[in-house]
Structure 1
């Protein structure tokens, strides 16, 4: 029976989708067991728990699996009342948080991957696309947040902070691999100050993977993508 009460997170160390669930659990101070999955040789448990997508993250609580990072985080927020609320109670604000979270997940993360996997003119187009989307987010956060900028500390971390952190927390690694500066303090003062506040949180610093390990992984992804694009 005790085994059924366990919280288990199946993940992969560098996945931003996994890191956001891990951060949510830590922010809410929920004890959990972490299981690292090999996505090349997926475990029987992963295939059992997520037969539809066969991907991480999967949260197992009371023996029941929950899949998809945003679904998992809402489940965490609704199930455990301790710690900060990850989504606001107000329906309109809650809808806004969902909207911008999805924008960052679907648009900005994809833009970052496009930058990583291209070079030359294609990379220039990807960088232009990234800047346009960052401008939209900068404007959106000015309008959404009281005082025109997000405020975050260890006691008021929310879903937007978590998603933003997992999309851009490794920005230095991306910039080192790409040789391109895309999150500039002068161009995006609101986003830059927000990111500095988020990555300085103790819970974020404790869970951040080593910079060099991230750089090596991103270099591998980039080189593999460029080789594949150049192949006849």
Structure 2
């Protein structure tokens, strides 16, 4: 059973990293070297993607692996830094510790809903 969980975890990690590499390529094409997905200003797609950054950081803390990597996804790393420090966002991004506490509350509820 443990081996199966490890295999599933490894597969999920590989799929996540492949998805991030696709996002990196898409960001390069769409941003055309500018700071955000659509250009110089933050737009809807930036906000939609940026909503995942807090949870990504929380997951990184739990699993001990970075998703956004300077070598593999340098454009996403820069974008994430610009997004999180943007005036419209910086005061609203949840702290990693807060999300980890929320995950502790939500996890038992998730186990119950998947069991039914």
Task: Bin the TM-score by the shorter chain.
Answer: 0.7 to 0.9
Greater helix percent: which structure? Answer: 2
Q: Distance in 2 between matches of 1:173 and 1:192?
A: 16
Partner in structure 1 of residue 99 of structure 2: 214
Select the structure of larger CA radius of gyration.
1
Query: Is 2:35 aligned against 1:151?
Result: yes
Partner in structure 2 of residue 164 of structure 1: 49
Change (3 A) 1:172 1:134: same
Change (3 A) 1:219 1:157: same
Change (3 A) 1:134 1:166: same
Partner in structure 2 of residue 42 of structure 1: none
Equivalenced residue count is 109
Q: Distance in 1 between matches of 2:103 and 2:17?
A: 20
Greater strand percent: which structure? Answer: 1
Change (3 A) 1:151 1:175: same
Partner in structure 2 of residue 176 of structure 1: 61
Relative contact order, higher structure (CA 8 A, sep 6+) = 2
- Segments of 5+ residues of structure 2 without an aligned counterpart are none
Partner secondary structure for residue 70 of structure 2: coil
Q: Distance in 2 between matches of 1:222 and 1:185?
A: 31
Shift of 1:190: 0.8
2:7 paired residue among 93, 115, 121? 121
1:141 paired residue among 10, 16, 27? 27
2:16 paired residue among 112, 130, 140? 130
Q: Distance in 1 between matches of 2:111 and 2:14?
A: 19
- Give runs of aligned pairs for residues 176-195 of structure 1, distance below 5 A: 176-195=61-80
Q: Is the 8 A contact 1:174 1:218 kept in 2?
A: no
Q: Is the 8 A contact 2:24 2:76 kept in 1?
A: yes
- Segments of 5+ residues of structure 1 without an aligned counterpart are 1-118
TM-score scaled to structure 2, two decimals?
0.75
Shift of 1:162: 0.5
Q: Distance in 2 between matches of 1:124 and 1:151?
A: 32
